[in-house]
Amino acid sequence: MSAERKTWKTSARFLVGALLLIWIFHCIFVNEARMRARRGELATPAGQTVNWDTLGRTEQWQYGWRHGPPALASTLGSVRPSAFLAALGLMGAMLYAGAARWRIALSAQGFELPLRRIVHISLIAHFFNALLLGTVGGDVAKAYYAARETHHKKAEAVLTVFADRVIGLWAMLLFGGIMVLPNLDLLRQPGLRTVVALLLAMLAGASLFVFLAFRGGVSRAWSGARLWLERLPRGDWIKRLLDSCRVFGKTPWFVTRTLTLSMALNVLMVLQFVVLARGLGLQVSASALALIVPLVICVAALPISPSGLGVRENLFVHLLAAQAVGVPATPALSLSLLAYAASLAWSVLGGLAYLTLKDRRHLRELTAEE
């Protein structure tokens, strides 16, 4: 792919994210102005009460963008400082748990990095997550540093990042699938039923992929699979990746340990939203958030917009505003933005870590050349 085409694709996705954000802000601002007008809280410059139904669309938009932003700012400012500080701490705990999970994958492939170094690289990856597309953009940076660990095992080093992400996504889907059971009453909402059906389909696909990748079996059932791979571009490299995947499956307790850490990370993630919701004074059950948060995060991981912006906010507003949950649009948007702000604060630390590492010499090799 040419550099010009890559630039156009990246620009297009940034544009998609910006449009999604503008659209959700616009809808919420206009809805906020509509509700205020019907409560008799809006007045014309002449001091008369605004009759919303007699306004033209352009006038409605003007009132929305005039009165909506202050309402959103007021909601954001109403969060208790202690709740936001707790959310920051929980975000840090999630990053640490993610680094510990990646260390298990590195160890399975023979890379013994100190946990401090892994946390350092994970912070840098988190920094790039705020800049690149989707919520997996930081994996590119993580794979880059992992590949610099060795000359002759680059494929295996990069694979540890891939395996870490696959286990994390699978565990999140599994967590969401489990949380469907205590939230069966929410499935009465057509919109939620559709998203939950998508989650269960993704869970089934991810479970099959994890089994085939870590346990194998395709080449035994289809003897020509290896020969077919050899004909592909970089076929030898793909075969090395598959063989390395088998190492994860053969490593004792690898799946159990990484899955356990991932589940703990998911609990911390949901707890962060519960704390912020309580800090905003929202009456939403922790059980409902335990279903909705993994749903949103999994979809936002798709490379549609930078850091999932716009996609995440639209989904949170749509799912939390369902009648069975009952969170108004403006507080739902505030909840999403506050969680993103906590993540962004740690991205700043990741940027500082990047500045201290990027100009250094290569990370020392941990395996001798063959």
Indicate the domain borders of the chain.
3-77, 81-357
Write down the pLDDT at residue 38.
66
Residue 150 to residues 147, 247, 358, 360, 368: CA-CA distances in angstroms?
Answer: 6, 18, 17, 16, 8
Range name among 20-29, 248-257, 310-319, 356-365 with the lowest pLDDT average: 356-365
Do the Cβ atoms of 153 and 109 come closer than 8 Å?
yes
CA dist., res. 62 & res. 68, Å (int)? 10
Measured between alpha carbons, how far apart are the two ends of the chain, in Å? 34
Write down the pLDDT at residue 246.
74
Give the dihedral sign, CA 244/250/256/257. Answer: negative
Percent of the chain with pLDDT over 70: 73
| Dihedral angle of Cα 308, 314, 317, 322, to the nearest 10 degrees | -120
Write down the pLDDT at residue 303.
59
Tens digit of each residue's pLDDT (9 = 90 or more) over 343-367: 888 988 888 877 776 544 444 433 3
At position 313, the amino acid (one-letter code) is E
Write down the pLDDT at residue 214.
74
Residue 178 reports pLDDT greater than 60: yes
Write down the pLDDT at residue 370.
37
Write down the pLDDT at residue 365.
39
